[in-house]
């Protein structure tokens, strides 16, 4: 949200104050300020100029040669604007001056000298209108600095919207001005509201079909509106605060929303006979002001003119009842809708607006009448002949109960730990709009309506109000005495940290963080279907509504997005998946480790073996136990039909290892390949770690032997391991797979056996004897050497 200091000055005298220090105080006391912008600082030496003559350029159909009176002299200007004419007063940037695009210099344009530039509003940075020259309606003498006429100089700061979530009163300049008044100790000027009196009998009829979704609905009719363009100072404020000028009536409604935080909507009175507020009886289509046809369901609150829908309540008006340039009569809607209903509707429609963002925060219902009075006041200031043409309709369906809180001075002292005088407490709360009664050390505080919708409800909230205005930076720093208690170890968290360290430090993998829901758009690019699972409520039209049941599709999506930045890399994440629901109806959340290895070389077998080595290292170093693998039928369509294995420890399945199905692999990369590992970390933590066995390293030379073996169907590596483990060879230090082969029904594996003795260098005859015994055992399970 953008806040204009010029606008704040309408309600609080800030003269003599350092504005940037004051904004910093606002950050410390109220809400985080993200950025400060000095508007107009790059506009210099731009004056009122009057075009004396216009001649066509002899060699251009677009350009004109102007004589412009700049007060002190007449300047030659070459200009290409379509609306240029003699007698027109314009914004003239003189040579040596500046506009946001840069410095204005003496120049020769298309063969003719130009001593400056006649500017559009966009070129001055005060609107996005670049249709022609900015035409000045002013009696100021030629040569007058434009900044002396219009509020071009301003300081605008941007407030982080997240810090305003619980403060609906701060979504308008007047609420922020109240904070500035409290911080500076200066008076807050009241809003000027228009006279709503009307002598006739006409009144806009309003019927509320869903009083549970409408807290208050106020409206009034105005006619005899003859002006249709808002004044420049209003358009500048709107533009500086992130909105564009449209026409007088639309600009006034936007101005009020930015001023007091209350959205309003002006309907073309010619299109409105009576107003109904209700949800539709059946789903329907509705075209909003932005020209988009939207699907409306039966839970979306609508504004109706009789049987015709005219607006989506709290979100956006309809195209058929919009204000056009010559609209002379309007029906102003100023309403307060249920914030939850507005949020759900905007989510279903996928359309969030400035109005809906404010309604979601639970606005003060009393603002609706303030907005009506402010609308009348502003329209009459700009167009004095405009008049109120109906009685005010004000339907109140729900009122927030008044909130009153009582406490004593000792309560304040105990919470703050410092001495704040009774007088300062009363002064602070009064400046913030609270009603305060004080007697004999006891305070009774009545909470203003704009803070009572959800913000201030308990005594501790009052303490926060006192201390933040007092200034947290004014607290005296003292050392507290409190007992220190040891925090019990969370072994699962410690193991997670070990896994992360191993994957990063030993295997150079990159840790990522992702959302728990499926990204249907990204999955579709990889040909991965979104499998049925628990869904997030109220986002039926979103592609991200289904919670994931596996980590790997998410990681594969991330791998696909990064494949052009490196030829080989690995990703991992310890995150949450949801495996259906528990018997209680709650989502069955599980903690999983997902790993994806990607290699652009396309050597899927080498990548698969690298994944095996990685898993073996994880389980071996953390649990001091071996992992076993067994081929299984894929549980997901994107897993490889053959190269998918179950990972087990101590006979308990804890995860899977798989390559991608060829169809999905081709969508990921035509050449590159990926292999994935997914471990259920809850099951991993449940595996008891074996005692660490320490062994003195041998000083003797090792020797190894490679065996290439042909395997029958269904033979597992654990079957092979039993053939050498059963011999109890102390000199057999390790066995690892170095290659696999499968073609035309022949399955082969090459293993490397490493032999080391502690007390001697092994002789080949001795090693060969052990190998022969291993081969004999292998033959018993029909495993033979490959010829």
CA distance 169 to 161: 13
The dihedral through the CA atoms of 556, 560, 561, 565 has a sign that is positive
| Confidence (pLDDT) at 81 | 92
Same domain, 246 and 261: yes
Pairing of β 274-278 and β 205-208: parallel
Q: Is residue 643 part of a domain?
A: yes
Same domain, 227 and 179: no
CATH number for the domain that contains residue 21: 3.30.56.10
Q: Is residue 691 part of a domain?
A: no
Cα within 13 Å of Cα(371), Cβ side: 33
Q: Cβ contacts of residue 702 below 8 Å, gap of 6+?
A: 733, 754, 755, 756
**Cβ 402 vs Cβ 446: under 8 Å:** yes
User: CA 534: distance to chain centroid?
Assistant: 23
- Report helix, strand or coil for 73: coil
Edge to edge, the sheet with strand 732-743 lists 732-743, 746-755, 703-711, 784-785
Pairing of β 639-649 and β 652-660: antiparallel
Q: Is residue 671 part of a domain?
A: yes
- Report helix, strand or coil for 206: strand
Count of Cβ atoms closer than 10 Å to residue 350 Cβ: 10
| Confidence (pLDDT) at 500 | 96
Average pLDDT, the chain: 92
Same domain, 495 and 638: yes
The CA distances from residue 405 to 222, 323, 364, 529, in Å, are 42, 46, 19, 55
CATH number for the domain that contains residue 107: 2.40.50.140
Residue 350 Rama label (left phi>0; alpha psi -120 to 50; beta)? left
Same domain, 722 and 771: yes
| Confidence (pLDDT) at 539 | 66
The DSSP call for residue 221 is E
Same domain, 89 and 210: no
Q: What is the pTM of this model?
A: 0.68
The DSSP call for residue 132 is S
CATH number for the domain that contains residue 299: 3.50.40.10
Strands (E), 370-476: 387-388, 393-396, 404-408, 435-439, 442-446
Same domain, 551 and 445: no
CA distance 647 to 624: 15
Domain boundary among 396, 415, 439: 396
Q: Is residue 563 part of a domain?
A: yes
Residue 520 Rama label (left phi>0; alpha psi -120 to 50; beta)? alpha
Cα within 13 Å of Cα(407), Cβ side: 19
Count of Cβ atoms closer than 10 Å to residue 404 Cβ: 12
Same domain, 230 and 301: yes
Q: Is residue 555 part of a domain?
A: yes
Same domain, 52 and 83: yes
**Cβ 49 vs Cβ 148: under 8 Å:** no
Domain ranges, residue 111: 44-152
| Confidence (pLDDT) at 467 | 93
| Exposed/middle/buried for residue 325 (C-beta within 10 Å: 0-12, 13-18, 19+) | exposed
Same domain, 634 and 680: yes
R_g over Cα of the chain: 38
CA distance 580 to 403: 44
Same domain, 392 and 505: no
The CA distances from residue 531 to 470, 556, 681, in Å, are 55, 16, 22
Range 288-307 burial, b when 16+ CB lie within 10 A, else e: bbeeeebebeeebbbbbbee
Q: Is residue 618 part of a domain?
A: yes
Domain boundary among 343, 372, 396: 396
| Confidence (pLDDT) at 21 | 94
Compute φ and ψ for 408, nearest 5 degrees: -110, 175
Count of Cβ atoms closer than 10 Å to residue 575 Cβ: 20
Q: Is residue 358 part of a domain?
A: yes
Same domain, 760 and 745: yes
Q: How many residues are there in the chain?
A: 787
Helical H runs in 477-572? 491-501, 520-525, 552-562
Residues of the chain with pLDDT under 50: none
Domain boundary among 630, 659, 686: 686
- Domains contained in the chain, number: 6
Q: Is residue 484 part of a domain?
A: no
Residue 281 Rama label (left phi>0; alpha psi -120 to 50; beta)? alpha
Same domain, 574 and 640: yes
**Cβ 608 vs Cβ 578: under 8 Å:** no
**Cβ 709 vs Cβ 748: under 8 Å:** yes
**Cβ 191 vs Cβ 7: under 8 Å:** no
């Amino acid at each position: 949200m953008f806040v204009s200091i010029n606008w704040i000055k309408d309600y609080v005298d800030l003269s003599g104050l350092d504005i940037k220090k004051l904004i910093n105080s606002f950050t410390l006391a109220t809400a985080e300020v993200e950025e400060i912008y000095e508007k107009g600082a790059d506009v210099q030496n731009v004056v009122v100029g009057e075009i004396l003559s216009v001649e066509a350029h002899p060699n251009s159909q677009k350009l004109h040669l102007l004589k412009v009176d700049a007060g002190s002299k007449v300047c030659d200007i070459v200009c290409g604007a379509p609306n240029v004419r003699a007698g027109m007063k314009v914004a003239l940037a003189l040579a040596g001056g500046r506009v946001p695009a840069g410095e204005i210099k003496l120049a020769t344009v298309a063969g003719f000298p130009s001593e400056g530039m006649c500017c559009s509003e966009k070129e001055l940075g005060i609107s996005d209108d670049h249709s022609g020259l900015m035409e000045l309606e002013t009696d100021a003498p030629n040569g007058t600095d434009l900044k002396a006429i219009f509020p071009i100089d301003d300081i605008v700061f941007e407030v982080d919207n997240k810090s305003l979530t619980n403060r609906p009163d701060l979504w308008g300049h007047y609420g922020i001005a109240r904070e500035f008044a409290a911080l500076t100790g200066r008076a807050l000027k009241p809003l000027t509201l228009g006279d709503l009196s009307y002598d006739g009998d006409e009144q806009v009829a309003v019927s509320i079909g869903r009083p549970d979704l409408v807290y208050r609905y106020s409206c009034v009719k105005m006619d005899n509106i003859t002006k249709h363009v808002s004044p420049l100072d209003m358009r500048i404020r709107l533009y500086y605060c992130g909105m564009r000028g449209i026409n007088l009536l639309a600009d006034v409604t936007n101005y009020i929303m930015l001023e007091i935080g209350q959205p309003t909507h002006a309907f073309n009175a010619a299109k409105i006979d009576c107003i109904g507020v209700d949800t539709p009886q059946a789903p329907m289509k509705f075209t909003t002001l932005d020209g988009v046809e939207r699907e409306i369901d039966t839970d979306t609150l609508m504004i109706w003119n009789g049987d015709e829908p005219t607006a989506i309540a709290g979100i956006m008006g309809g195209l058929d009842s919009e204000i056009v340039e010559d609209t002379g009569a309007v029906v102003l809607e100023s309403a307060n809708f249920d914030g939850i209903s507005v949020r759900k509707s905007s989510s279903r429609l996928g359309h969030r607006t400035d109005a809906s963002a404010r309604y979601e925060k639970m606005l003060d219902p009393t603002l609706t009448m303030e907005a009506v009075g402010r609308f009348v006041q502003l329209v009459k200031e700009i167009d004095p002949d405009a008049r109120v043409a109906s009685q005010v309709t004000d339907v109140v369906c729900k009122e927030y109960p008044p909130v009153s809180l009582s406490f004593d001075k000792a309560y304040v002292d105990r919470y703050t730990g410092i001495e704040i005088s009774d007088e300062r407490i009363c002064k602070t709360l009064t400046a913030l709009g609270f009603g305060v009664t004080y007697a004999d050390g006891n305070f009774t505080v009545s909470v203003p309506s704009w803070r009572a919708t959800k913000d201030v409800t308990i005594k501790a909230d009052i303490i926060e109000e006192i201390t933040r205005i007092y200034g947290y930076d004014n607290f005296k720093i003292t050392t507290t005495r409190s007992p220190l208690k040891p925090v019990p170890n969370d072994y699962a968290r410690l193991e997670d940290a070990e896994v992360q360290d191993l994957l990063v430090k030993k295997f150079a993998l990159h840790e990522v963080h992702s959302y728990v829901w499926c990204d249907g758009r990204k999955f579709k690019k990889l040909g991965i279907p979104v499998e049925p699972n628990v869904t997030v409520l109220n986002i039926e039209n979103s592609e991200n509504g289904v919670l994931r049941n596996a980590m790997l599709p998410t990681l594969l999506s991330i791998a696909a997005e990064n494949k052009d930045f490196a030829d080989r890399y690995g990703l991992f994440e310890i995150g949450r998946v949801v495996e259906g629901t528990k018997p209680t109806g709650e989502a069955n959340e599980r903690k999983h480790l997902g790993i994806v290895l990607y290699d652009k070389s396309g050597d899927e077998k080498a990548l698969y073996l690298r994944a095996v080595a990685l898993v073996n290292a994880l389980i071996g170093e953390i649990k001091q136990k071996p992992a076993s693998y067994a081929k299984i039928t894929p549980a997901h369509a994107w897993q490889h039909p053959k190269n998918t294995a179950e990972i087990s420890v101590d006979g308990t399945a804890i995860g899977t290892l798989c390559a991608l199905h060829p169809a999905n692999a081709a969508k990921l990369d035509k050449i590159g390949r990926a292999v994935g590992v997914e471990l259920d970390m809850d099951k991993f933590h449940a595996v008891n770690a074996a005692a660490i066995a320490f062994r003195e390293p041998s000083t003797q030379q090792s020797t190894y032997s490679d065996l290439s073996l042909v395997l029958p169907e269904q033979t597992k590596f654990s079957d092979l391991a039993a053939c050498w483990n059963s011999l109890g060879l102390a000199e057999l230090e390790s066995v690892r797979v170095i290659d696999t082969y499968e073609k035309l029904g022949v399955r082969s594996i090459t293993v490397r056996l490493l032999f080391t003795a502690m007390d001697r260098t092994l002789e080949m005859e001795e090693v060969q004897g052990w190998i022969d015994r291993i081969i004999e055992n292998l033959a018993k399970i029909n495993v033979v050497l490959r010829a």
